[in-house]
């Protein structure tokens, strides 16, 4: 399996949203140890494990023969079976600088990640699977939607030489319309999302990295474990940000390396 890394640099600044300051445990695993970052209270620690990302879609698919056979509940209700993962893709974020950096995290509190993923058509891929389940269960009325475990974080902190790793299943989620014949339409609604293999072509991962200030306790700080940690602080302002990008071509490649230089 091969990989391609592309790094583009330019400065921008953004401000994190929200209220208050608190800690967050994330879904990333980190390699490369170092010393604790900064000092002060209002910080967060993170000991993560690699996340497996589903991904959301780039449009609806038509009903094909695979995974779309009728269910036992009637010939008019397709099964909407999820497709199997083609293989896990590893996303590695590494700080190659001599100083520590802050990486803004994406919005949302379910499986927070620092990257944005766009597909071959240039549209953003929201990789997370539906919180209440896919069409496979929804057509049968199985759409449990408990309150999600919220793991929101404003930023990822990386010491010099540290690497964090995430995982993506290689699946995206496409919108489907549930036929009236399906028994689950009353409880789960007339639309749902089905997991399918991501389309062939170039998929771009992008992050930003730089400094940070404006935290409830200055300087902005969290306690790194293996060189990395995440922090939630509504007042955090990112400074001197640069863009870092890397691309993976599917099918075939299985590693994405985002290197902060």
pLDDT one-digit tens code per residue, 24-35 = 333 444 544 443
Query: pLDDT above 90 covers what percent of the chain?
Result: 52
Query: 95 lies in a domain?
Result: yes
Query: 136 lies in a domain?
Result: no
Count of domains observed in the chain: 1
CA 120 distance to own-chain centroid: 18
- Given a cut of 60, whether residue 225 has pLDDT beyond it is yes
For 104-121, b/e burial (b = at least 16 CB within 10 A) is bbeeeeebbbbbbbbbbe
pTM score of the predicted model: 0.68
Query: 43 lies in a domain?
Result: yes
Instruction: Specify burial of residue 183 (Cβ count, 10 A radius: 0-12, 13-18, 19+).
Output: middle
Q: 119 lies in which domain range?
A: 4-59+87-129+150-171+196-260
- Given a cut of 50, whether residue 159 has pLDDT beyond it is yes
φ/ψ of residue 185, rounded to 5 = -65, -30
Query: 118 lies in a domain?
Result: yes
Q: Kindly report the average pLDDT of the chain as a whole number.
A: 76
Query: 67 lies in a domain?
Result: no
pLDDT one-digit tens code per residue, 131-153 = 888 999 999 898 888 766 666 77
Query: 161 lies in a domain?
Result: yes
Query: 142 lies in a domain?
Result: no
What is the rounded distance in angstroms from the CA atom of residue 219 to the CA atom of residue 205? 29
DSSP codes, 67-96: T--EETTEEEEE--PPPPP---EEEEEEE-
pLDDT recorded at residue 148: 63
Query: 70 lies in a domain?
Result: no
């Amino acid at each position: 399996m091969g990989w391609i890394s592309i790094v583009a640099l330019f400065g921008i600044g953004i401000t994190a949203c929200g209220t208050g300051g608190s800690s967050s445990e994330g879904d990333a695993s980190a390699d490369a140890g170092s010393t604790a970052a900064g000092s002060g209270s209002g910080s967060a620690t993170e000991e993560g494990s690699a996340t497996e990302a589903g991904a959301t879609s780039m449009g609806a698919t038509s009903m094909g023969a695979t995974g779309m056979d009728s269910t036992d509940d009637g010939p008019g209700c397709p099964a909407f079976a999820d497709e199997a993962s083609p293989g896990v893709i590893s996303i590695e974020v590494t700080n190659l600088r001599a100083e520590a950096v802050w990486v803004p995290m994406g919005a949302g509190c379910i499986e927070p990640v620092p990257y944005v993923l766009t597909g071959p058509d240039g549209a953003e891929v929201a990789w997370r699977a539906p919180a209440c389940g896919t069409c496979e269960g929804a057509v049968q009325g199985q759409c449990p939607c408990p309150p999600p475990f919220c793991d929101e974080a404003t930023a990822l902190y990386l010491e010099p030489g540290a690497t964090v790793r995430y995982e993506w299943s290689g699946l995206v989620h496409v919108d489907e319309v549930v036929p009236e014949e399906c028994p689950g339409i009353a409880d789960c609604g007339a639309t749902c999302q089905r997991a399918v293999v991501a389309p062939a072509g170039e998929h771009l991962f992008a992050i930003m990295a730089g400094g940070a200030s404006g935290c409830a306790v200055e300087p902005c700080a969290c306690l790194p474990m293996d060189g990395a940690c995440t922090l939630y602080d509504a007042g955090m302002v990112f400074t001197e940000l640069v863009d870092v990008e890397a691309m993976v071509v599917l099918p075939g490649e299985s590693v994405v390396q985002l290197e902060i230089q």
